[in-house]
Homo-oligomer: A and B are copies of this chain.
């Protein structure tokens, strides 16, 4: 690019390694860093190492935590008899934003995907099964993504848990609220018809 300065080029390369960040953006970000004060730059660098060293996985639900347990597993106000199973910590945040769900979560950190060499042992399924041994859990809600991998994972887990006498449910499929029926794909629309309810 014409910057013959190793420290600058190194920083640009670091930013460029991130998914979705192209060369021009990485360059703009590096120049942003150069424009910071010394204290700000140190704070930025510290935020990176801090997040990396302080954030770990909750010992119960495998969600991100800054302690042994995540804030949700620590809380006394959550219904421990219901577990909502998601693929990613960001899905927990998405469901929390609804303010509707009062149970606990289990984060799989992925979905079964034979194409990517991810089998049941590569995601946190045995940690989920371990949580079910003490009989307090009554229902497991599968909230994996509505994709082929997410479906396969939901099916796999439901077959594993049903013999244990646990209710396994799945998020409803249907047309998204606020969307236009005209643009809904056939599969979504036929699922919405199947799942219709009386009004």
Chain B neighbourhood of A38, CB < 8 A: 52-53
- State which residues 62-99 of A face B: CB under 8 Å: 64-66, 71, 89-90, 92-94, 96-97
* A contact face: mostly helix, strand, loop, or mixed: helix
Closest B residue to A17 by beta carbon equals: B32
Contact A52 B41 (CB under 8 A): yes
- State which residues 10-37 of A face B: CB under 8 Å: 10-11, 13-14, 18-21, 25, 27-34, 36
- Number of this chain's copies in the assembly equals 2
Chain B neighbourhood of A89, CB < 8 A: 3, 31
A interface size (C-beta, 8 A):
53
Tell me, in angstroms, the Cα distance from A32 to B64 when the chains sit together: 14
Known: A32-B18, A46-B45, A48-B48. A55 touches B1 (CB 8 A): no
Q: Tell me, yes or no, whether A197 is within 8 Å of chain B by CB.
A: no
Chain B neighbourhood of A18, CB < 8 A: 28-29, 32
Q: Tell me, yes or no, whether A8 is within 8 Å of chain B by CB.
A: yes
Tell me, in angstroms, the Cα distance from A25 to B15 when the chains sit together: 12
Q: Tell me, yes or no, whether A47 is within 8 Å of chain B by CB.
A: yes
Q: Tell me, yes or no, whether A54 is within 8 Å of chain B by CB.
A: yes
- Which of B30, B36, B45, B47 meets A7, CB within 8 Å? B47
Q: Tell me, yes or no, whether A49 is within 8 Å of chain B by CB.
A: yes
Contact A34 B2 (CB under 8 A): no
Contact B44 A14 (CB under 8 A): yes
Give 10 A-B pairs besides A3-B89, A4-B71 with Cβ atoms closer than 8 angstroms: A2-B94, A5-B55, A11-B47, A14-B44, A14-B47, A21-B29, A33-B52, A34-B52, A36-B52, A41-B48
Chain B neighbourhood of A199, CB < 8 A: none
Contact A90 B31 (CB under 8 A): yes
Contact A51 B97 (CB under 8 A): no
